[in-house]
Amino acid sequence: MAVATPGDTLTALPTHHFAGRHSALRSPRSRSEAPRGVQRFYWFATKNTPEGGRAAPAGHKAELLERFGSWVESIPSIIRAAAEDKILRHDVYDRDPLLQWCKGRVTLLGDAAHPMMPNLGQGACQAIEDAVALAECVKMQGDMIVALKLYEERRKDRAAMIVRCSRAFGNVEQIENPLLCALRNAAIRLVPACISLRQLASILDPEA
């Protein structure tokens, strides 16, 4: 993942771009979205690789350009725009959903409760939803133990759903078999927009 300072032309990069075992994704802040004077965005790319790997001797940027240099131009352009020391490599992990978050007057929130893969961009979003639900439950209930249990009941199933969806998305996204990749890409193109939007709403809407 990295932070770049791009020009306007970089905002054309598709949110998800599939090609075999590598996927390029971005989560931009456009010029209109960013605070005045701040024109940066965060992006990340994924690769199936053994845990604990390191960059090639030439560095992260060279490796990324070797892998993605022939893709649609906006992808290599954002890689070139990022400074080498701003490109970070991390192994990513999730965890099966917990059956219990609370014990007495202690509870879990955010990644402590439901660490997830970054595929849906929902890690921080779910932590915010946790915080809102926790505040509401504490305000509603005078008994802290009851409030924390209510918070767990309100949040546990939805957070578990997001964890599983993010994992499933990653499994599909990072298929390596060329035939299965081609079938996946063809199937994605055939999905009606209304169905895609309905699926997206179930992820983005806490009340869905």
pLDDT in tens, the chain (208 residues): 555 444 433 433 444 444 444 555 444 443 334 445 556 777 888 888 889 888 888 999 999 999 899 988 888 999 999 999 999 888 989 999 999 999 999 999 999 999 999 889 899 999 999 999 999 999 999 899 999 999 999 999 999 999 999 999 999 988 989 999 999 999 999 999 999 898 888 898 888 6
Tally of domains within the chain: 3
Give the SS3 label for residue 2: strand
- Nearest CA among 73, 100, 94, 55 for reference residue 9: 73
Single-letter amino acid, residue 90: H
The rounded distance, in Å, linking the Cα atoms of 13 and 28 is: 9
Q: Give the model confidence (pLDDT) of 11-25 as tens digits.
A: 334 444 444 445 554
Are residues 181 and 161 part of one domain? no
Among 86, 119, 143, the domain boundary falls at 86
Please identify, among 86, 111, 127, the residue that sits at the C-terminal boundary of a domain: 86
CATH number at residue 20: 3.30.9.30
Q: How far apart are CA 175 and CA 19, in angstroms?
A: 9
Which ranges of the chain would DSSP assign to H, the alpha helix? 60-68, 74-81, 123-140, 144-173, 178-190, 193-204
Domain of residue 140 covers 95-169
